[in-house]
Amino acid sequence: MDGRWSDVHGAGSQRSDPKSGDPAEFPTGHGPQGDAIRIDNSVRLVRAGDQGVQAMLDTGQSACYNSDGEAIACPTQGEAFYGQDAQYTGSAFNFTDNGDGTITDHVTQLRWQQTPSSDKYGWAEAQTYCENLSLADNDHWRTPSLKELFSISDFERGWPYIDSDYFGLITGGKDKSEQYWSSNYYKVGKTHGDAPSAIGVNHTTGHIKAYPDGSNGSPRAGKYVRCVQGNDYLINDFVDNGDGTITDKATGLMWLQNDSGAGMDWASALSYGQTFSYAGYDDWRVPNVKELQSIVDYSGVYPAINARYFNTTDDDAYFWSSTSAYFSPQNPDYYYGWYVAFGYAVGGDGEDVHGAGAVRFDTKVEGGPAGEDPERIYNYVRLVRGGTTGRVFTGGTVTEVDTDTGNTADTNNPDPSGQPTDGNAPPTGNIPEPPDLTAAAATLGVSEEDLKAALGDPHQGQPDFEAAATILGVTSEALQAALAPAEGSASDEPST
């Protein structure tokens, strides 16, 4: 300023000046405010952001399976097993090896430690390790959240459930000890014989579970840790749409507020999803395991879901995902479906071993291979829509889906199909209202308590009507007639 001006407002100040004009119109060099005139200024351009929606990494599962673990041609709508994980694609893995001991995930924008330390740590020690880590000329590392750590899980094969071409493993992914701490502490209670616990991911078996944190000297507490850096990923931002649906603005997924109201096996869960219409949409589906895990609340609430937005029929319930648990060609006799335990994930003694919010698998059907925990074949379902690329894979056809309306169109046939209904009533084939046990007991002339005891646990499938009728002193026909829903009693909404 030729030495004539001095700093009055300070660097970073916000002022105003004429938008256009000739500086010569201000011969003294002062604008209307009496300050130095600055008409010709520089520009830094910007573009629209992503509105806060974070793309979810796909599971990587590309094959379809039946209840017996056999790979099948992906079915078409109306066929059994339609609507499973492989038929809907999300954001594909997109990793880069930076050549400096780090891996960049271009979907989540997270940068990962490529090869973890071979040392094992208690949970608190793992947090300190990442905070003190200096890697690739950077010391801003942290322990990943559970949802961040689970995001890099790859369900295409299994053992290991992670792409070892990018992510180094200590045991090579063939040993169950390939367990990694997250930043999430288990606040619901204690596990493994009253041990304070934190939660982690097993990259060999694919599980999420709680482990003793090491604060009580447990020799089982030592786990590995893979550090990460970047902005927090998958922080839920739920919105109640006021119509029985919930949108998570973090992922763009729309969820049913109510669950299925009854347990069912895996094949029935898929069928339930493909025949369901609600709130003007008919593209509801069973979520894949990453989508389902994305709504788990690890803050210490029980069940492990935000009750302000989601209704739960049974607080102890497990929920099916559409993802199959495939081990490897070397283990063909093990075929399961993945579930999320929003209630306690118990062991054989009924005690909380794995923790509420655990991700496990179990046999899909009666008579399937038994897992290491008590079988939970009949699990609940919470349907979801949106969040995919809009491509549904069937035996030889790719169907395009309008993810805003739910309308579908076969790419080999321009005629639209699967138009959403204009009402809220679910179509034929949906789960009916649970039986009115009070009315049924009155009809049969027995107490409601005796009726419940004779029918057994509703989560373990259909009761043995003959045995129950014998216990109650009635005929099987009379029992089933009393339990049958009244004509037209199906709910207009998903049951709570």
Query: Residue 392's pLDDT is what?
Result: 59
Q: Mean pLDDT across the stretch 129-156?
A: 97
Percentages helix, strand, coil for the chain (3-state, rounded to 5) are 15, 20, 65
Do 147 and 31 share a structural domain? no
Do 82 and 33 share a structural domain? no
The answer to whether the pTM exceeds 0.85 is no
Rounded CA separation 90/84 (Å) = 13
Q: Mean pLDDT across the stretch 92-121?
A: 97
Q: Do residues 210 and 193 lie in contact, with contact meaning Cβ atoms separated by under 8 Å?
A: no
Do 166 and 23 share a structural domain? no
Which segment of 11-20, 349-358, 423-432 scores lowest on mean pLDDT?
Answer: 423-432
Q: Mean pLDDT across the stretch 189-203?
A: 94
Residue 489: inside a domain? no
Q: Are strands 208-212 and 335-341 parallel, antiparallel or unpaired?
A: unpaired
Residue 327: inside a domain? yes
Do 89 and 31 share a structural domain? no
Do 147 and 34 share a structural domain? no
Q: Do residues 325 and 206 lie in contact, with contact meaning Cβ atoms separated by under 8 Å?
A: yes
Do 133 and 247 share a structural domain? yes
Query: Residue 217's pLDDT is what?
Result: 76
Count the helices and strands in the chain (H runs, E runs): 8, 20
Do 351 and 234 share a structural domain? yes
**Quick one: pLDDT band at residue 114, thresholds 50, 70, 90?**
very high
Which has the higher per-residue pLDDT, 221 or 228?
228
Number of structural domains found in the chain: 3
Rounded CA separation 22/393 (Å) = 63
Q: What is the pLDDT of residues 206-215, one digit of tens each?
A: 999 999 999 9
Do 293 and 183 share a structural domain? yes
**Quick one: pLDDT band at residue 50, thresholds 50, 70, 90?**
very low
Q: For residue 288, how far is the Cα from the chain centroid?
A: 7
Residue 496: inside a domain? no
Which helix or strand (DSSP H or E) is residue 455 part of?
A: helix 448-455
Residue 488: inside a domain? no
Judged against a pLDDT cut of 70, whether residue 194 lies above it is answered with yes
Q: Residue 18: which domain range?
A: 1-45
Q: Do residues 190 and 216 lie in contact, with contact meaning Cβ atoms separated by under 8 Å?
A: no
Query: Residue 237's pLDDT is what?
Result: 97
Do 63 and 21 share a structural domain? no
Rounded CA separation 255/494 (Å) = 12
Residue 492: inside a domain? no
Q: Give the tokens for residue 479.
A: 């029992």
Do 112 and 4 share a structural domain? no
**Quick one: pLDDT band at residue 411, thresholds 50, 70, 90?**
very low
Judged against a pLDDT cut of 60, whether residue 419 lies above it is answered with no
For CA atoms 212, 217, 219, 222, the dihedral sign is positive
**Quick one: pLDDT band at residue 176, thresholds 50, 70, 90?**
confident
Q: How many angstroms separate the first and last alpha carbons of the chain?
A: 72
Query: Residue 373's pLDDT is what?
Result: 66
Question: What is the chain's length?
Answer: 496
* pLDDT, averaged across the chain: 82
Do 297 and 222 share a structural domain? yes
Pick from 390, 356, 354: which is nearest to 371 by CA? 354
Q: Residue 176 half-sphere exposure, CB side, CA atoms within 13 Å?
A: 5
Judged against a pLDDT cut of 70, whether residue 2 lies above it is answered with no
Q: Residue 315 half-sphere exposure, CB side, CA atoms within 13 Å?
A: 4
Query: Residue 4's pLDDT is what?
Result: 54
Percentage of residues in the chain having pLDDT higher than 70: 77
Q: Do residues 155 and 206 lie in contact, with contact meaning Cβ atoms separated by under 8 Å?
A: yes
Query: Residue 489's pLDDT is what?
Result: 39
Judged against a pLDDT cut of 80, whether residue 433 lies above it is answered with no
**CA distances in angstroms from 44 to 16, 20, 41, 47, listed in the order given:** 17, 18, 10, 11
Residue 51: inside a domain? no
Residue 282: inside a domain? yes
Residue 27: inside a domain? yes
Do 283 and 415 share a structural domain? yes
Q: What is the pLDDT of residues 17-49, one digit of tens each?
A: 777 777 666 655 555 556 677 777 887 765 434
**Quick one: pLDDT band at residue 493, thresholds 50, 70, 90?**
very low
